[in-house]
Structure 1
Amino acid sequence: MKNVITHTKKGFLMVTMFATLLSFAKESSLSIIKNDDKRTSLTLESVKKGNLLSIKDNKGIVLYKELIEASGIYTKGFDLTTLPNGAYVFELDGEVEIKTIPFTVESSKVVFDKNLEETTFKPFVRVDNDLVFISKLALHNEELKIDVYFEDLNGDYTSNPVYTETIKGTKKIERVLKLKTLGFEQKGNYTIVLKSNGREFTQYINI
């Protein structure tokens, strides 16, 4: 009976987590771009306070960043014509998703292609005692690499992960890790490093 209750609890949490992710997917920010000779007007719907908006070049260098101060509809004008010729991207970094809006500048002409806009979902982590629930919507079958590192109370740190796994080939990634079964019964600090879509996400856990 105890096992049934445990598995039911895990299943319920996973369903809840994916319901949350799917709700975000349905509420993904809609972008509206309006260009004139000197000004680009960017409108984003359903932004959340605390989201980070940035402009990056094709090397990932941040040229502009702004912390969204209010939830709702965001509208702002930008003069992108002064940028050097090349490829750029608006990036909206939210709680569980990252939306990218690429554009190019050539001879002071700014061009957006709506078809190239993309939404990438971050890994979602929930901790319950020593259980770690990891989930991710991988709409393009992108892989997720999980590395877990451990540091005991004496400050001894494992340079190699005590657990590593790469998950791919599914649009709905889910894992449940029981930290105390990874070889360490004593208390300490765990660092979970999640890599996907060329990005890295880190979660620190103390038990």
Structure 2
Amino acid sequence: MKNTIKNIKKGILMVALLATVIGFAKDSNSLINKGAKKTAIVLKNVKAGNLLTIKDNHGIILYKEEIKTNGLYTKGFDLTELPDGAYVFELEKDLEINTIPFTVALSKVTFDKTDEATYFKPYVKQEKDLVYITKLNPELKETTINVYAINDNESTLRFSEKIENTQSIEKIFKLTKGNFKIEINSGNKEYTTFINN
């Protein structure tokens, strides 16, 4: 009889835990701090090929994983072993990067949901001698586009533009024959694309 009661209690506990995890999974991106050493990260709407990284405050990658499945991603991390400091989870999707910052102090991990952010990556498409650049910029961050011609491993700046107070950036460039490098700087992030025309 005692074993039956123990098994029933374990079953109820497992159902409650499962209901809690499912409840968190219905939110968008959520972090669940289990109170122990492990921190579980739950990401919704991921796709195979998305890249999850953990970086320190200098941008050094400490962990990198290519997500293998579509839908819901869950994984436990022991973040208490990291040295005291500021860190960030980055989920890189096709056209956006979601950041989830956290700090470690005296083996205690702290997340602040208000610091989570989404950065939109530029989309660069080449059609013959035309290059199309589009970028969503809802926070109106200053964006710089530089186009370099590459000859014998030397880069020569051919075009530069600083764009301010623009929510949707759309540019078209007609390039001559040759090799080019396009750098787009926005919100302290740099994106580089090479074009062989």
Q: TM-score, length-normalised on structure 1?
A: 0.77
What are the ranges of 5 or more consecutive residues in structure 1 without an aligned counterpart?
Answer: 1-28, 181-186
Mapped pair 1:204 → 2:159: no
Q: Contact 2:133 / 2:171 at 8 angstroms: preserved in 1?
A: yes
Partner of 1:115: 114
Aligned to 2:11: none
**What amino acid is the match of 2:194?**
Y
2:149–2:156: 8 Å Cα contact kept in structure 1? Answer: no
Give the alignment partner of residue 159 of structure 1, picking from 155, 159, 162.
Answer: 155
Aligned partner of 2:73 in structure 1 is 74
CA contact (8 A) 1:149 1:158 kept: no
Is 1:179 the counterpart of 2:175? The answer is yes
Aligned partners of 1:110, 1:93: CA distance in 2, in Å? 23
* Amino acid in the other structure paired with 2:186: S
Whole-angstrom distance in 2 between the partners of 1:134 and 1:147:
12
- Aligned residue for 2:58? 59
What corresponds to 1:131 in structure 2?
130
For 1:190, give the aligned amino acid.
Answer: F
Give the aligned residue type for 1:178.
K
CA distance in 1, matches of 2:154, 2:129: 18
Task: After TM superposition, give the deviation of residue 158 of structure 1 in Å.
Answer: 5.6
Q: Residues 86 and 127 of structure 1: is their aligned pair in 2 closer, same or farther, counting only changes over 3 Å?
A: same
Q: 1:38 Cα shift? A: 1.1
Cα RMSD, aligned residues only: 1.6
Are the structure 2 counterparts of residues 76 and 157 from structure 1 closer, same or farther at C-alpha, using a change threshold of 3 Å?
closer
TM-score (norm 2): 0.81
CA-CA distance at 1:157 after TM superposition: 5.9
Q: Whose Rg is larger? A: 2
Q: How many residues were matched structurally?
A: 170
* Equivalent residues of 1:98, 1:121 under 8 A apart: yes
SS of equivalent residue, structure 1 residue 161 = strand
Pair 1:193–1:175, CA change in 2 (3 A): same
SS at match of 2:114: helix
CA shift, 1:166, in A, is 1.3
- Paired position in structure 2 for 1:102: 101
C-alpha deviation, 1:68, in angstroms: 0.8
